[in-house]
Each structure stands twice: as C-alpha cells, then as structure tokens.
Structure 1
C-alpha cells in the first residue's frame, strides 16, 4: 500500500480524536457581547448555543466570566464573544445570577450538529478512503481523492471548534476550508489527465493553490477580515470548479466520461448549494443567513455518497473486486436518512427527544436500504430492455449480450443487430 497515504490517514484520525476531545471540554455558549462605557452587554444569542436554553437575553449585563472581569477572558477581548468559559455572571435589572456552563441533556441540537454529525461524516469518508486504498493502492488520482476526503472530514469536525474560537481547531478549519476546493480540482485534473481526456491546464490548479495560500497568510497576518472573506473565497473556488465541470460536459459530449463529469458536477453542486444559497450569499449580501451554517453544511454527506455511487457504477475508477450489496446500500442510505431526520427535528418536532430521533433515523435508514435493493432488482431486470443514449457503446454491448440470449434463430439475431445499429 501507499505508505504516505497510510501515514496521512493515521495523522487525520489522530487529529480527529484530539479535536473531538477538545470539543467535549466546552459546549458552544453562543453569546456575542458589546462594550458600552466600560461595561459589557449581551449583543446577540446564537440559536444553537448553551445561552439560548438558559434565558440569557440581549441587553443583559455581563459582570464576570470565570469569576473575572469580562475583558480578561481572551474570547471576549479578541472576538467579542463568550466561549470556552466555565461560569458567567449575568445582571438583569437588580438581579444577579451566576451560571455554570456545561453540556446538558437539553442541548440535543448541539450534540447532533457539533459532535454526532461531524464524527459520522469522518467515519464515512475514512471508510471510503480505506476502500480506495484497497482499490487503487498506487494510483495518483485516488491518492489525491483520499487526501480530499480526509481533509473534508477534518474541516467538518474543526468547524465546531472554530465556532468556539479554539485556537488549534480554528487554524485547521481555516486551512482546510480554503484548500478543499483546490484539492478537488487537483483530483479532477489528475483523473482526466490519466484518462487522456483533460480539458483544462494544470496552471489553473497551481494558480488557485497560490491564491488560496496568499489568502491563508493574509488571514493569519490580519490583513483582511475573516468571516466574509472566507465565504467570498469559497464562492470564487466553487464557481471556478462548476465552470470547469460545465466546460467538461461540452468537451466530453460524445464520450462515456460525460457520466463521470455529471456525477462530479452533482457532487459539488448538491454539497455546496445549501451552504452557498442559504448561508454564504445572504451573509455577504444582507449580513444575515436564511438557514444556519450547522444545518446547511450537512449537505457535505452528498460528496462521499456520490463518489461511492460513481465507483459502484464503474464511472470512477475500475473495480477490481465486487462490493457487498448490503455494505454498499448501507453507505448510500446514510445521507437521505440523516437529512430527513434533521429536517424533522428542525421543522416538525423541535422538542423531539434524542431516543425518538434515533428511532426515526433507524426506520428511514431501513426503508432506504430496502428501496435500493428494489432499485437494483429492477435495474437488472429491465436494463436489457431499456433504450440507451447514442454513442454509449458499452451499455449497448451489454444490452446486445442480454438480448441475444433470447433470440431463437439467425434471422431474429440479424434483425435485432440491425435495429441496435440504427438506434445506437
């Protein structure tokens, strides 16, 4: 096996474990503050934060954080937010109350979005990475794809630490957030260059690497503000990738690899669209999101799901062994099951208990697996009878082989072949 790739896999796994341990130390508090005449007041309460569940309100005065003046706490001083604290003292009118901050059973949404989903996503991409190692141990495109998947897992799990202003998690998040789209473009170039069907030069890949490196250094040196700049950089990177994939559709119009380009376009489009349309663009244009980042970023599960589907359909790499149907369907069913459960918890039953959500997820998960088994059965039964697109000769050959088995004499064979040539 590729030793460098295995080392990268181990390093990513150790980092995820470390970040998870850090994440368990403090819940997201979700209090933004403002200074007025030397006093600190609550400016904003975040929807998924601890403060939302403890009746802390905008305009409350913050007297102390961890028993000291608010400005002595580094997240208040540097970011105007209260995070990574154990206690907070709040004054409302003549009442003063000391709150002890810790993870509690009523923080179900925070457990889901900040721990369960990121860890589940990393397990998903790590499993797919192991599968790719077994499939293409010394293949350059698959190696770059593995790096991309592992970095996507790190990006997702470090995002929750970035929201808490944890230093290490924040640096990992910024780096992976900026370079993930470029690494995907690098994979795109390597894959189609190996197939000798690449339609753009590697200079574009190097150019984006350089641009994002300058952006990363600029953020570290505080040349530019952080949040809106990161979102703007994401829009630029995603727009570049979508434009190149669109050009690829035209370039490979009569080639089998068109299916692969469509799949990759679907992967990037569906995984980025909710975050871009309902969070990034609204924040950049009107300064307020339509849907919170925690909800929109769950579309990341589309990426490994589409990659697995393309591999299973022989549209991305060539399988050297068969995949167990149950394992394949179980992986593909994760995404829709998660999404439906999250939408139910968010919009239908906001006060749903964790046990209820788990049972709902399992029910949807089983139904999805059964539906995929039925789809596989109908595909095998009807594939030889369905029309195929012109110029896609591999599918035509499969259909010819299946149909010729049923012909009774040479005349029927000739008639069928003439019909196939006319149609395909």
Structure 2
C-alpha cells in the first residue's frame, strides 16, 4: 500500500510538472533577448538568439531597452532574475535617439518547442518499457531512472529558456543528477553481468552534493540574490556535469585495464561502453558546455548536441532487452561500418542541396540535413538485413518462395526412410515449387535403372536417354547428378516449366542446393533399403538356424516393428481416407435430395463409395484386429474367415473345438496366431489352386492347436522356399519364425499334387480357468 502511494505521488508530481512546463512552452514564444547593463547603467540588448522570436523582429544587438510591457526593465521579473526578456508582449527600444515600439507577436523556432518534446517522449517510452518488461534487473531499473531523468531535463528545457522559475530549477537539478545516475547504473550493471565489484561509497557523496545544491537553489525565490546565484550556479552545474562524465570514463578505463586479460568478453563490453559513452557526451561537452564556460558562447546549440546523449541509454536498453549484450562490439562495429558507408552519399546529397539552395540555406539547416541524413542512412544500412528478411515476400517473391520451400524440404528430409516417401514428400514439393510439368529421381545401377516420377514426365524416354548417356545436357530436361559410387548413380531430372520455358539461373542454383541436401538423404535411404533386405533375409533364415534361440530379441523386435507399422497405416486410413469418403457420401446424399433428376446416378455413386468404404474398413481390420481384445481369438478368426469366404476362389470352412474350458491367451500371442491365419489364407489364394480350404482350432487346457488343410497342388516339404526380397507376404519361413517365437511346433504333411496339411501347436504359458 505504501509503495503504491509513493508511486502515485511521484506520478502526480510528474503530471503537475508536465502540465506546468508544457503550458508555459505553448503559451509564450521563446524570445531569445539577452540584456546587460552598459556603463551608463542602461539596459541594452547584448545577444539575440537566432532561434528565438526576436530574430524575426526589427531589433538589433546594442539597442537600448526602455520599457518592457510598459514597465522599466528592472521591474520586470525575467530581467530582474535572469537578464532576459521573456513572457513579454511588447518592448520599447531606443536606437540612435529614436524610440521604436516593437510588438512581439512572432513564434519561436520549433527547435525549442518540438525537438525537446520528441526527445522527452522517446525517454518516457524507453523508461516505461524497461520498468514493465525487466523489473527483476536492478541495472534495468536504474537505466529506466536515467531515461526518466533525461525526460525531466527535456521537459523543463522549453520552460527554462522562457525564464520560468520551475523550469530553471528543474533543468540544473536534473542535469547535475544525470552523470551520478549513470555512474550508479554502471556499478550495478557490471556487478550483474560480470560479477565485477566496484565500491559504491563515492555514490553517497555525489548524491549528497546534488541534493545540497538543490536545497541551495531555494534561494532563487529571493529576487535580489537570484541572478548572482544563477550566474555562478550555471558554471558550477556544467562543471559538475563534466566531472561526472570524466568519473564515468575513468571508472570504465580502470575496469578495462584491470580485467582485460581475465575476462575477454567483459573487457569487450567495457570497451564498447566507453566508446558509446564518449560518442553520447563528448559532442555536448566539447561544442556546447565547455565553450559556454570558457568564452560564454556555445559553438553548437545544446538542443542538438544533447540529443546525442540518447545514443548510450537507448542502445543499452535495446541490447539488454534483446539479449544481445555480449554482441555489443560486433553491433557497434556494424554501426560504424554502416556510418562510413553512408558518409559518401550523404556528403554528395548535402553538397547538391547547398549548391541548389545556396541563397536560402543557413548553416543550421545544412548541419541538420547532413546529420539527419547520415543517421537515417546509417540506421537503414544497419537494419538492412532485418528489413530485407521482413520485406522479402514483397520485394523478392520468387526468392522467398524458393527459400521457404527449401526450409520445408530440408525439414522433411529428416523423416524420409523409403523411396515411396521420397516421392510423396520431397519430389512433389520440388515439382510444385519450380512449377514444372514433371520431375524424376533416377537411380542407375550396373544392371538396370529405377525411376521415381511425379507429374507429367515420360519415364520410358528418361530411361532411354539414361542408357544412351544423353540425359545430362538434354535441351528439354534439367538434369543434375546427385550421387555416384560403385553400386549406383542418382540423378534429379526436371522437365520444362508449365510456361514451356527452361528453368532460370536462380532456380537452377536453388535446384543445385537441393541436390546437395538430397545427396546425403538419398544415400541414407539406399542404406536403409539394403539394411531392410538383409534383415528380411536374416529373419527368414532364423527358424532353420540351430542358434535361433539366441536371437529371440531380434525376432521380437521385428514382429513389434511390423505391428506398429500396420497399426499406423490402419490409423491413417481410418483418420483420413475413410473420413473423406464419409463426407463425400454425405455430400452426394445432400446433392441427391436437391437434384431429383439425377437421383439414380447419385445413388449408384453413393453405393460405390460405400463399397470402397467397406473394403477399406476390412483392410483396417486386417491391419489392426482390434476385436481380439473385445471378443477373443476364436470369434475374431471366425468373423475374418466368414468375410473372406465371399471373395475366395475356393470353399472356405472354419471350426473350433474346446475339449477343456476355454483358455484365455495374452493379446500378443493372439495377434501372432491371427497373423499366421492371415498368411496361410493369403498363400492359399496365391499358390494352392485348391477347391476346398479349412481351418480348425482345437484348444486344450495345456496347448492351442491350429490345423490348416487344403486339397491343392501341395509342395515338397524338403524344399526351402526363401522369401524373395520385396515380397509383401511373410512366407512359410516367416510363419515358422512366429511359431518358434511362441515356443510352438509346426508339423507339415504335404506332397506335390496331394494337398497340404499344417498342424501348429502352441503351449499355453499360463492356465487361467474360465
């Protein structure tokens, strides 16, 4: 509660000061008339500010001021306190014995009205951003205080130059406070970021001096002492400001020489802070403050040089907020390089401007054009990379499309494990991105070729060109070699674009980059394919090996991988294709309700879609027999064979006997037996040429028996039928492998031309009575 009250109080005071200073600035113009007493103790104009309203009036330096708003000058508060004519509407001057009544109805230059207001708004925004987003950092809070202090200086500037008491006191108080807060910020900052301890004892002396000076300025309220105190106070304040700056620079120099060999990254930060601090403060000190102290006149108006002070706190706020603090040296190097690049064109532009408007151009305007243009061009050059990235979709749309496609393709390459995926995921994207009619990935082996095509491309023509070694350099195709080794050579082939033009230079460069990515992926896919072939060969040989029991883990992994892949495919079919068919059926039904004339044709289409859906549903069931868990093995096999009986070329029969109360097997065992039934039925369809096929389940308390029998052509049990590479079925040897995995036995009764009978016996691992 107390904290909220204090914050509310400070906000209220800030708002009151803002209203006071802003109303003073907007209500009165800045005249810029400075007076002094001559030898005859008469008030004469000693100086006219070129940015003030008086510079536009018919008054000159040396004119004697008789009256200000109808009163003698010594009775006017601004003259009595500050030796200036401000907040006045008219003055009476004497020049060469002639009196002139001059009405002050001109507005002052925007230098004293708009520029400080803009600088104040920038400081308030940065302070609010730091306090809102980085409350946990003590250094960030102090940097926010730096911004608030600068905002108060800019706020009071307009009122101060207009002779307002509040403005005068504010600007000198906060000008003295600023280097002290900077010093405090640096101590906390280096402690947070680099664990560098620096004695903060001097801070209490510095803050004491600032507050004592602020207390003494209460004497400003006593008019007889005001001007004398103000005259010496100005020199003291500016001198203290310079000393504070030198103290900050000294601290940074000492720290740098102390840790430059121990912490290279922190020494780099210190060096960059030293440089940015010098860039921010030296112009104000060298061109405004020191000349004011030494010769009583500024070389450059402090309004312009004080704006550079913003460079240091804004750059640090950006670096801290964006976590780029440790890249500060690189960032300053980039800024410096950008400024050096900008100097030449900005100098040429400024020279052309001066030459074109030499009769109507002041030095201030030339300086403003040069510094403003240099800053703007430097910032644009520094931010060019960011701007190009953001505007690339609009400035370089084709390049943006190619880069986006490259990111997508490179990301998808990590998921490729087969040539089918290579076509469906990668080749399709390449063809669509380049907007060509078609594309192909070609593998040339010693004894043949393999071509993966997408789009409109002649596969036979590509194969002929490949054999005749005329593919590379062909006028109708863009062909790039990807891999070349002893076993194969691969190519990426693209047709002409859909506009019947060849690929451009930029697109060929992109294609060349794609091939460099594909090179590694193609090699991996090829190795995966070889590994799969080797694994399939090994899996088919395992049941005949005497050491098969030693590689039980291998069989288990192979079966688990197969089941996972089947379940994945079934899920994909159910979630995509079957859902699409369902929505298609609904749309056709809705269309049939609206279009009565074509109702019969639409009903036929709906029935056809239903047939496809039913076929897919059966395929999903075969891939993932979920009913095993719900109704058990016997009922699932019965349902499966009943549905298959409608499509088989032979009579299909099924029976089950349970000599003992039915035993419940675990789900993996049931799934293995179901797969054996599937494979036996597939083999019967492909090879048996039978007229009758039967399956029989006989289950006892201790074992499960599956009997398969057909009256087909049979086979010689002495022949070892190895599974061919690339076959989709498991083969009899894979059935043996499953049986061996279940610790079962296989008895084969077969002879060529006399049918086949297989008896599979699997012992129960656990006996669970129903």
- Structure 2-normalised TM-score? 0.41
Cα drift, residue 5 of structure 1? 6.3
Q: In structure 2, what is the equivalent of residue 418 of structure 1?
A: none
Q: In structure 2, what is the equivalent of residue 120 of structure 1?
A: 118
The secondary structure found in structure 2 opposite 1:97 is strand
The secondary structure found in structure 2 opposite 1:248 is helix
State whether structure 2 residue 29 is matched by structure 1 residue 20.
no
Map 1:151-300 onto structure 2 (within 5 A).
151-195=149-193, 197-221=195-219, 225-253=232-260, 254-300=263-309
Q: 1:361 to 1:182 in 2, by over 3 A?
A: closer
**8 Å Cα contact 1:263/1:310 also seen in 2:** no
What is the distance in 1 between the residues matched to 2:326 and 2:146? 16
What is the distance in 2 between the residues matched to 1:291 and 1:59? 23
State whether structure 2 residue 75 is matched by structure 1 residue 68.
no
Q: In structure 1, what is the equivalent of residue 47 of structure 2?
A: 44
What is the distance in 1 between the residues matched to 2:157 and 2:95? 32
Cα drift, residue 69 of structure 1? 1.3
Q: In structure 2, what is the equivalent of residue 374 of structure 1?
A: 384
Cα drift, residue 164 of structure 1? 2.2
**8 Å Cα contact 1:29/1:49 also seen in 2:** yes
Cα drift, residue 141 of structure 1? 2.1
Q: In structure 1, what is the equivalent of residue 144 of structure 2?
A: 146
Cα drift, residue 359 of structure 1? 11
CA offsets per residue over residues 284-319 of structure 1, 9 Å max, x none? 33333322323322212313432244225525599x
Q: 1:219 to 1:268 in 2, by over 3 A?
A: farther
**8 Å Cα contact 2:65/2:73 also seen in 1:** yes
Map 1:377-396 onto structure 2 (within 5 A).
none
The secondary structure found in structure 1 opposite 2:298 is coil
**8 Å Cα contact 2:123/2:148 also seen in 1:** yes
Map 1:315-326 onto structure 2 (within 5 A).
315-316=324-325
The secondary structure found in structure 1 opposite 2:36 is strand
The secondary structure found in structure 2 opposite 1:27 is coil
Cα drift, residue 366 of structure 1? 7.1
**8 Å Cα contact 2:194/2:266 also seen in 1:** no
**8 Å Cα contact 1:32/1:45 also seen in 2:** yes
**8 Å Cα contact 1:141/1:190 also seen in 2:** yes
- Report which structure shows greater RCO (CA 8 Å, sep ≥6): 1
Counterpart selection for 1:30 from 22, 29, 32: 32
The secondary structure found in structure 1 opposite 2:113 is helix
Q: 1:368 to 1:10 in 2, by over 3 A?
A: farther
CA offsets per residue over residues 220-245 of structure 1, 9 Å max, x none? 44668122111111111111011001
Structure 1: give runs of 5+ residues left out of the alignment.
319-328, 380-405, 410-424
Cα drift, residue 266 of structure 1? 3.2
What is the distance in 1 between the residues matched to 2:322 and 2:199? 28
Cα drift, residue 49 of structure 1? 1.9
Q: 1:207 to 1:8 in 2, by over 3 A?
A: same
The structure carrying a bigger strand percent of its residues is: 2
**8 Å Cα contact 2:34/2:48 also seen in 1:** yes
**8 Å Cα contact 2:21/2:158 also seen in 1:** no
**8 Å Cα contact 1:42/1:57 also seen in 2:** yes
The secondary structure found in structure 2 opposite 1:225 is helix
Cα drift, residue 43 of structure 1? 2.0
* Aligned residue pair count: 358
Q: Which structure has the larger Rg over C-alpha atoms? A: 2
Q: 1:359 to 1:59 in 2, by over 3 A?
A: closer
Cα drift, residue 177 of structure 1? 0.6
Cα drift, residue 150 of structure 1? 0.9
**8 Å Cα contact 1:118/1:157 also seen in 2:** yes
What is the distance in 1 between the residues matched to 2:307 and 2:49? 19
**8 Å Cα contact 1:124/1:304 also seen in 2:** no
**8 Å Cα contact 1:42/1:60 also seen in 2:** yes
Cα drift, residue 205 of structure 1? 1.5
CA offsets per residue over residues 75-120 of structure 1, 9 Å max, x none? 112222211212111222243322222443xx4xx21x21221111
What is the distance in 2 between the residues matched to 1:368 and 1:270? 15
Q: In structure 1, what is the equivalent of residue 720 of structure 2?
A: none
CA offsets per residue over residues 363-409 of structure 1, 9 Å max, x none? 88875564233244899xxxxxxxxxxxxxxxxxxxxxxxxxx9x99
- Structure 1-normalised TM-score? 0.71
Map 1:320-339 onto structure 2 (within 5 A).
none
Cα drift, residue 201 of structure 1? 0.3
Cα drift, residue 207 of structure 1? 1.9
What is the distance in 2 between the residues matched to 1:26 and 1:270? 34
**8 Å Cα contact 2:36/2:44 also seen in 1:** yes
CA offsets per residue over residues 101-142 of structure 1, 9 Å max, x none? 2443xx4xx21x212211111221222122212321243222
**8 Å Cα contact 1:114/1:157 also seen in 2:** no
Cα drift, residue 54 of structure 1? 1.2
The secondary structure found in structure 1 opposite 2:115 is helix
Q: 1:358 to 1:210 in 2, by over 3 A?
A: closer
Q: In structure 2, what is the equivalent of residue 396 of structure 1?
A: none
What is the distance in 2 between the residues matched to 1:12 and 1:59? 41
**8 Å Cα contact 1:162/1:170 also seen in 2:** yes
Cα drift, residue 249 of structure 1? 2.0
CA offsets per residue over residues 188-214 of structure 1, 9 Å max, x none? 222222346234201022121122333
The secondary structure found in structure 2 opposite 1:256 is helix
What is the distance in 1 between the residues matched to 2:11 and 2:323? 25
RMSD: 4.1
